[in-house]
A and B are shown apart, each in its own frame.
Chain A
Amino acid sequence: MPKRTDIYKILIIGAGPIIISQACEFDYSGTQACKALREEGYKVVLVNSNPATIMTDPEMADRTYIEPVTPEIVAAIIEKERPCALLPTLGGQTGLNTAIQVAKTGVLEKFGVEMIGASIESINKAEDRDLFRSAMNKIGLRIPESGIATNMEDVQSIAADIGFPIIVRPSFTLGGTGGGVAYNPEDLEKYAKAGLDASLIGQIMLEESVLGWKEYELEVMRDNKDNVVIVCSIENMDPMGIHTGDSITVAPAQTLSDKEYQKMRAASIAIMREIGVDTGGSNVQFAINPENGDMIVVEMNPRVSRSSALASKATGFPIAKIAAKLAVGYTLDEIPNDITGETLASFEPTLDYCVVKIPRWTFEKFPETRDYLTTSMKSVGETMAIGRTFKEALQKGLRSLEIGRYGLGADGKDFSGRQKRPPSLSEIEQKLATPNSLRIFYLRHAFLNKMSIQYINELTGIDPWFLYQIKQIVEFEQNIHKFNGADLPASVLKQAKSLGFSDIQIAHLTGASENSIEQYRKSLNIHPVYKLVDTCAAEFKAATPYFYSTYETENEARVSDRKKVMILGSGPNRIGQGIEFDYCCVHASFALKEEGIESIMVNSNPETVSTDYDTSDKLYFEPLTKEDVLHIVETEKPVGVIVQFGGQTPLNLAVPLSEAGVPILGTQPESIDRAEDRKLFQTMLKKLNLVQPQNSTAITVEEAVKTAEEIGYPVIVRPSYVLGGRAMKIVYDRSELKNFTRLAIIASPEHPVLIDKFLEDAVEVDVDAISDGKTTIIGGIMEHIEEAGVHSGDSACVLPPYSLNAQTLNEIRNATIAMASELNITGLMNVQYAIKDNRLFVLEVNPRASRTIPFVSKATGVPLAKLATKVMLGRTLKDLGLTSEKTPLHVSVKEAVLPFSRLPDVDALLGPEMKSTGEVMGIDSDFGHAYAKSQLGAGYNLPISGMVFISVKDHDKTAAVDVASQFHEMGFKIMATHGTSRFLGNYDIPNIVVNKVSAGRPHVIDAIKNDEVHLIINTGSGEKTKCDGYHIRRAAIKFNIPYTTTIAGANAICKGIAALTRKKLSVKCIQEYL
Chain B
Amino acid sequence: MKAIISLEDGRSFNCRSFTGPGEAWGEVVFNTSMTGYQEVLTDPSYSGQMVTMTYPLIGNYGINPEDIESDRIQVSAFLVKEYQDFPSNFRSTSTLADYLKAQGILGIEQFDTRALTRHIRKVGAMRAFITTHDIDSASCIKRAREIPGMAGQDLVKEVTTKRPYYWAQEKPVYIGKNVPLSKNIWKYRGSKNSVVAFDFGIKYNILRCLEYAGFEILVVPATTSAETIKLIEPDGLFLSNGPGDPEPVSYAIKTIKDLLSYRPIFGICLGHQLLALALGGKTFKLKFGHRGSNQPVKNLLTGKVEITSQNHGFAVDIDSLNGKNIKITHKNLNDNTLEGFRHRELPIFAVQYHPEASPGPHDSRYLFNDFVHVPNG
Contact = CB atoms under 8 A, between A and B. Distances in A.
Interface of A: 225-227, 229-230, 252-262, 265-266, 290-293, 331-333, 342-344, 346-354, 388-390, 463-465, 468, 531, 536-541, 552-554, 556
B44 interface: no
Interface in B1-52: 13, 30, 32-36, 38-39
Interface of B: 13, 30, 32-36, 38-39, 54-57, 60-61, 64, 66-67, 81-82, 84, 86-91, 111-115, 117-118, 121, 292-296, 298, 303-305, 307, 333-334, 357-362
Contact of B32 (A293, A463, A537, A556): A537
Contacts of A349: 294
A262 B361 CA distance: 6
Contact of A348 (B66, B117, B293): B293
Among B67, B87, B88, B298, the most chain A Cβ lie within 10 Å of the Cβ of B88
B56 A352 contact: yes
B55 A465 contact: no
B331 to A, nearest CB: 10
A332 B32 contact: no
A257 B113 CA distance: 21
B86 A255 contact: no
A2 to B, nearest CB: 13
A539 B332 CA distance: 14
B362 A255 contact: no
Contact of B88 (A346, A348, A463, A552): A463
14 contacts: A255-B60, A256-B61, A258-B39, A262-B362, A291-B90, A333-B298, A346-B296, A347-B307, A352-B32, A352-B55, A537-B30, A537-B292, A553-B115, A554-B118
Given A256-B61, A261-B35, A347-B334, A538 B117 contact: yes
A538 B34 contact: no
B73 to A, nearest CB: 16
Given A252-B55, A554-B112, A347 B295 contact: yes
Closest CB pairs A-B (n = 8): A258-B36, A554-B115, A258-B359, A537-B54, A465-B88, A468-B86, A348-B294, A258-B35
B357 A332 contact: no
A215 to B, nearest CB: 15
Nearest to B118: A538
B208 to A, nearest CB: 11
Given A227-B304, A258-B33, A333-B296, 16 more contacts: A225-B303, A257-B36, A262-B359, A293-B91, A331-B305, A347-B294, A352-B81, A352-B113, A354-B56, A465-B60, A468-B88, A537-B32, A537-B292, A538-B54, A540-B334, A552-B112
A253 B35 CA distance: 9
Given A389-B81, A465-B86, A537-B54, A350 B60 contact: no
Contact of B361 (A265, A554, A556): A265
A332 B32 CA distance: 21
B35 A292 contact: no
A225 B303 CA distance: 8
Contacts of A468: 86, 88
Nearest to A343: B334
A258 B112 contact: no
Nearest to A288: B90
Nearest to B87: A465
B291 to A, nearest CB: 9
Among B61, B84, B292, the most chain A Cβ lie within 10 Å of the Cβ of B61
B55 A266 contact: no
Contacts of B117: 352, 537-539
Contacts of A465: 60, 84, 86-88
Contacts of A353: 56
Contacts of B112: 552-554
B259 to A, nearest CB: 33
A351 B30 CA distance: 13
B54 A352 contact: yes
Contacts of A390: 57
Nearest to B290: A539
Contact of B67 (A229, A257, A342): A257
A1021 B113 CA distance: 62
A388 B361 contact: no
Among A292, A347, A537, the most chain B Cβ lie within 10 Å of the Cβ of A537
A973 to B, nearest CB: 64
Nearest to B63: A257
Contacts of A389: 56-57, 81-82
Nearest to A387: B56
Given A255-B88, A346-B296, A229 B118 contact: no
A299 B113 CA distance: 37
A344 B34 CA distance: 20
B362 A257 contact: no
B292 A257 contact: no
Contacts of B82: 388-389
A554 to B, nearest CB: 4
Contacts of A230: 307, 361
A87 B359 CA distance: 37
Contacts of B55: 252, 350-352, 537
Nearest to A294: B90
Given A347-B333, A465-B87, A225 B304 contact: yes
A87 B233 CA distance: 59
B251 to A, nearest CB: 34
Nearest to A536: B32
Contacts of B88: 255, 463-465, 468
A258 B67 contact: yes
A539 B67 contact: no
A257 B32 contact: no
A287 B61 CA distance: 17
Contacts of B307: 229-230, 346-348
A415 to B, nearest CB: 29
A257 B57 contact: no
A213 to B, nearest CB: 12
Nearest to A266: B362
Contacts of B305: 225, 227, 331-333, 346
Contacts of A261: 35
Contacts of B67: 257-259
B87 to A, nearest CB: 7
A703 B66 CA distance: 76
B56 A350 contact: no
Contacts of A388: 56, 81-82, 114
Contact of B333 (A256, A258, A343, A351): A343
Contacts of B333: 333, 343-344, 346-347
A539 B294 CA distance: 11
Contacts of A346: 296, 305, 307, 333
A261 B358 CA distance: 11
Given A352-B114, A552-B112, A538 B121 contact: yes
A354 B115 contact: no
A851 B202 CA distance: 64
A475 B360 CA distance: 36
Contacts of A554: 112, 114-115, 118
Contact of A350 (B34, B39, B111): B34
Given A256-B61, A389-B57, A464-B88, A262 B357 contact: yes
A295 to B, nearest CB: 12
Contact of B360 (A258, A291, A537): A258
Nearest to A468: B86
Contacts of B90: 290-293
Contacts of A265: 361-362
Nearest to A332: B305
Nearest to A233: B34
Among A252, A333, A350, the most chain B Cβ lie within 10 Å of the Cβ of A350
A468 B57 CA distance: 13
Nearest to A342: B334
A1009 to B, nearest CB: 49
A552 B114 contact: yes
Contacts of B66: 259
Contacts of B56: 352-354, 388-389
